[in-house]
Amino acid sequence: MAVDEARSLLESCIIFDLDGTLVDSETACLQALNEAIPQLAMSISELSSRYRGKKLATIFSDIENTLGLRLPIDIEQRYREHASILIESDTRLFSGVADALVRLRQQMCIASGGPMPKIEVLVDSHGLRPFFGKRLFSSYDLKSWKPSPDLFVHAAHQMGFSPEDCIVVEDSEVGITAAKAAGMTPLHFCEQFSAPLSEYSFSNYAELPDMIERIQTA
């Protein structure tokens, strides 16, 4: 690789979503909805299609409107209690993530719509701390959620990069929309047989480092 190409890789930032992107935690989080709200009784695929990547308050509001009921005032606490148990027992790092992160030479951070305590638990329990350190950013700290670009713009600023020098790795439509609105290049991590949501998509983390290099050296 030419010196200029190597420098361009180092002078860029990869922003990763967490749930459903690095860690397969979406199923646990969605199941927690069913456990916290027994009247919901939706399949995981239905919940994923309807709520993947969305703000929790938005999800609760939609459930109230859909079911025609008023959720308890402590519903978020109930949900967090169920989610906390499931996250510890029913989540895993997606295959190939660690190897891909080792190969990436760019600066990296995590920007998640989840609260910081949850981010910290997932990062530590799945061995991601050596790759990201304290470079973790939460929508809860900004009070702004995807599809708003605010979280990604904030992460880029804190990392010392302009939006055009950032690539966002996301699994959800709201995340891809936020990345585009921020002026960043989105990469869609999509499960096999899922329709891609952006120009660049992958279903196997072994593909990611070479894909990013091709994008940045084109």
> Domains in the chain and their CATH numbers?
3-24+93-217 (3.40.50.1000), 26-89 (1.10.150)
- What is the layout of strands, in order, in the sheet containing 166-170? 136-138, 107-112, 13-16, 166-170, 185-189, 200-202
pLDDT for position 218: 76
Sign of CA dihedral 9, 159, 125, 55: negative
Strand partners, 109: 15
pLDDT in tens, the chain (218 residues): 443 444 455 679 999 999 999 999 988 999 999 999 999 989 999 998 899 889 999 999 999 999 999 999 999 999 999 999 999 889 999 999 999 999 999 999 999 999 999 999 999 999 999 999 999 999 999 999 999 999 999 999 999 999 999 999 999 999 999 999 999 999 999 876 566 778 899 999 999 999 999 998 87
CB proximity list for 206: less than 8 A, separation 6 or greater: 96, 99, 100
pLDDT of 12 = 94
pLDDT of residue 7: 46
Counting beta carbons within 10 angstroms of the beta carbon of residue 113, is it exposed (0 to 12), middle (13 to 18) or buried (19 or more)?
buried
Q: Is the dihedral of CA 98, 100, 102, 105 positive or negative?
A: negative
pLDDT given for residue 8 in this prediction: 53
The model's pTM? 0.89
- pLDDT reported for residue 1: 47
